[in-house]
Amino acid sequence: MSAPLLSVVIPAFNEAAYLPLCLPTVINSLELWMEKTGNQGEIIVVDNGSEDETAEIAESFAVRVIRESIRNIGQVRNTGAAAAHGRYLFFVDADVTVPPEAIATAMRLLTSGYHVGGAIRPQYEPKRLSSRLLCWYWDAYRRRQRGAQGVNQFCTADAFRELAGYRTDWFMSEDTEFFARLRALGDRVYRPVVLVQDICVRPSSRRYDQWPAWKMLWWQNPITARLRLTSSSFWRHWYQSTVR
């Protein structure tokens, strides 16, 4: 079998409940792209020291599973990228479902040579109106900034290496910081990032539904999101409960 052209990297911590729901959508999207193009791809689940059956469930789907013990999301994504064989990287969180055309869309943009990377729009569907308004605010904010969350980002492996990947000294906002550097690189080499708007990935709304609105507003606002980014203790709640 030829080497994979694309590597899908999925960070995972205690995702036994969501992997059976979300991983099949990623596999389906990858297989559809492979069948259409004849190219090969791989999926790498990076188990971040899970205390449940995350690794076993991932292995049951016949995807690659590697381990990373350091509890830092940037480190976990970087570990997956370091193990990847593909010329292109597609990052997606373990609690995210992707539409069938997601990977084909990303690869069409990447292989065109006109873009160093991009992201597919996330569509959150929390139960409470206050949470939906907060999601709407962040969507509008990111559009103005040409930014993107780490729930889904894709790029060339060359660009990822040139940027040295995600920051591992930050415990929050490392995804938007990486995308800002990717955007700057794309602008510099005239291969801009692209924000896909006509399809969407669907992250779980578990944190919005589990936490009261005041708590989400306190931790998800432009001021708090910039506070003590290198402090693991300050952001411990974000890591000790559900992952992003």
The torsion defined by the Cα of 104, 105, 108 and 111, in degrees rounded to 10, comes to: -90
In this structure, which topology does domain 6-240 adopt according to CATH? Answer: Spore Coat Polysaccharide Biosynthesis Protein SpsA; Chain A (3.90.550)
Please, are residues 12 and 91 in contact by the beta-carbon 8 Å criterion? no
| pLDDT band (50, 70, 90) for residue 244 | very low
Please, are residues 27 and 94 in contact by the beta-carbon 8 Å criterion? no
Q: Indicate the domain borders of the chain.
A: 6-240
Q: Is the pLDDT of residue 218 over 80?
A: no
* Of 38, 213, 25, 2, the residue nearest 128 (C-alpha): 213
Q: Is the pLDDT of residue 141 over 50?
A: yes
What was the pLDDT predicted at 43? 98
| pLDDT tens profile 151-205 | 999 999 999 999 999 999 988 889 999 999 999 999 999 999 999 999 999 999 8
Average pLDDT of the chain?
Answer: 91
Q: Is the pLDDT of residue 234 over 80?
A: yes
| pLDDT tens profile 38-76 | 999 999 999 999 999 999 999 999 999 999 999 999 999
Q: Which residue has the higher pLDDT, 146 or 165?
A: 165
The share of the chain scoring above pLDDT 70, in percent, equals 97
Q: Is the pLDDT of residue 243 over 60?
A: no
Q: Is the pLDDT of residue 242 over 60?
A: no
| pLDDT band (50, 70, 90) for residue 1 | low
State the Cα–Cα distance between residues 49 and 225, nearest whole angstrom: 25
Please, are residues 158 and 184 in contact by the beta-carbon 8 Å criterion? no
Q: Which residue has the higher pLDDT, 170 or 111?
A: 111
What was the pLDDT predicted at 210? 82
- Backbone φ and ψ of 43, nearest 5°: -120, 130
Q: Mean pLDDT across the stretch 106-134?
A: 91
The share of the chain scoring above pLDDT 90, in percent, equals 69
Whole-prediction pTM: 0.92
| pLDDT tens profile 69-104 | 999 999 999 999 999 999 999 999 999 999 999 999
| pLDDT band (50, 70, 90) for residue 215 | confident
